[in-house]
Amino acid sequence: MNPTTPMSLRLSLAGALFASVVAVQSSIPTANAAQPPQINTPPASPSATLTQRVGFTDVEVAYARPGVKDRKIFGGLLPYGEVWRTGANTSTKVTFSTDVTIDGKTLPAGSYALFSIPGRDEWTVIFNRVVGEWGAYSYKADNDALRVKAKPIALSQPVETFTIDINDIRTESATLNLIWEKTRVPVKFTVDVVKPVLAQIDAAMGSGATLPPRAYFQAAMFYYDNGLDLAKAKAWAEEATKGDSPPFFMLHGKAKILAKAGDKAGATAAAKQSMAAAEKQGGPVAAEYKRLNEALLASLK
């Protein structure tokens, strides 16, 4: 500030500078500033996520789990004949990583909102393309990807908390269960495992490469397990067990294939060879295969 500046102007400028400094300082939060108290309460319907692999298909179910809480659920809180979000809060989301088949109908891979219409003797289970909606208030049937019918099963013991599980798991199928109060609603679905594995086997066998015994054994047992060409299964089992000391588990698999093909003599010889190899190796796994071979031999008599 110039010394020749009038005193009144000096005081005015100094006041303005002081006010601006105070304004800046007051806008900076202090470490000790009081924060409003936070209140957290547990959710009435806690969320859950279920993941399960079936065959080559990954299934994920994300849902909220309401409780019975001394209420009548089906035919009471949830009237028969009305669309339900099949859970609480945001509608339940089911994701399939590959196409699945339900009640003979194909449901393409993807994520779906799971709705249902409870009934006294029959339910309608709905896979809807619009996910993430709260409740069933915005549900539109036009967006349904698939609707299937399911028969409810009465439970002897009540289930307090709504539960979705995936059970009865086989290589190519499983059951999606909706469980609450004294009701279980099963929805069976199947997946395709044969086509992708056959493509792998065809590629391996047609590659011209020298394959290890395990590859031939896997191909043989897949054909055996899925009721495919037994002649190919037999040829691959023979290839897998060539040599002086094939593994006892491969010999047992070969015995099963020969038995299924009707070759009792060949199956008996392979089973006995498997037993001898298992006894030579010893251990709990070998003991189990000894038992399996004994059972197979008994069935061949």
Domains and CATH numbers, the chain: 47-190 (no CATH), 194-299 (1.25.40)
Model pLDDT, residue 14? 45
Instruction: Measure the CA–CA gap between 242 and 217, rounded to whole angstroms.
Output: 11
Q: What confidence score (pLDDT) does residue 24 get?
A: 46
pLDDT attached to residue 32: 59
Quick: pLDDT tens for 22-35. 444 555 555 556 88
Residue-level pLDDT at 242: 94
Q: What is the pLDDT of residue 301?
A: 87
Strand, coil or helix: 149: strand
pLDDT value of residue 10: 46
User: Using CA atoms, how far apart are residues 83 and 144, in angstroms rounded to an integer?
Assistant: 12
List the pLDDT tens digit at each of the 301 positions of the chain: 554 444 444 444 444 444 454 444 555 555 556 888 999 999 999 999 999 999 999 999 999 999 999 999 999 999 999 999 999 999 999 999 999 999 999 999 999 999 999 999 999 999 999 999 999 999 999 999 999 999 999 999 999 999 999 999 998 999 999 999 999 999 999 999 999 999 999 999 999 999 999 999 999 999 999 999 999 999 999 999 998 899 999 999 999 999 999 999 999 999 999 999 998 888 898 889 999 999 999 999 8
Q: How far is CA 1 from each of CA 14, 67, 240, rounded to the nearest angstrom?
A: 10, 75, 99
- Tell me the C-alpha distance between 91 and 62, whole Å: 9
Question: What's at 292, amino acid-wise?
Answer: L
Global pTM reads: 0.77
Q: Tell me what pLDDT residue 282 has.
A: 87
